[in-house]
Amino acid sequence: MAEAIDMTQFVPKYFEMDPKTDDLLRKGSMLEDGMVVLLEMPALRVDIVSEDGQPLSTYYNPETREQALRYNRWVTVSDLGWADGDMCSFIGVYHDGTKKKIEAPNDFAWYVKKNSLPKPIDYEAEQRDQQERGRPVEAVRAALSESMRLYGPRPS
């Protein structure tokens, strides 16, 4: 039988943010060390706690319990890094001190506790940065297109 865990640390599968205390990061590239976050993806969370705070039978299943321990709890981001440009990776530190390596695609959204933000989220600046990062790709495409126009396709 599983050891007792403080069930109040788990959020429900269909968690709803409180706009007074929580915000939403559109993607993983907005994460920073020290932020307290929760993956905004109900499909990865499981229901293990009843409305009266008691463990459901899924709590005793090792797979769903592990999934809940990883995705149904707020976690502090530590040692943030990037893998293959498409994945964010960090050590998640939970309120009870346990740690797990968390990896997720950069396009996944995250809830964040406002009091853990190093600065307010500037969505307009993030959008400008994204557009700026897209410009080199456009420049390369234009250069390749011009090269094809001038020199034709590469010989086989």
pLDDT for 154 beyond 80: no
Least confident of 33-42, 80-89, 97-106, 124-133: 124-133
Cβ–Cβ under 8 Å, residues 31 and 90:
yes
- With pLDDT > 90 as the criterion, what percentage of the chain qualifies? 44
pLDDT, residue 56, reads 73
In one letter, which amino acid is 5? I
- Does pTM surpass 0.85? no
- 132: pLDDT strictly greater than 70: no
For residue 38 the two structure tokens come to 């929760």
> What dihedral do alpha carbons 17, 110, 43, 21 form, nearest 10°?
-10
Give 36's DSSP letter.
Answer: E
Position 74 pLDDT exceeds 70: yes
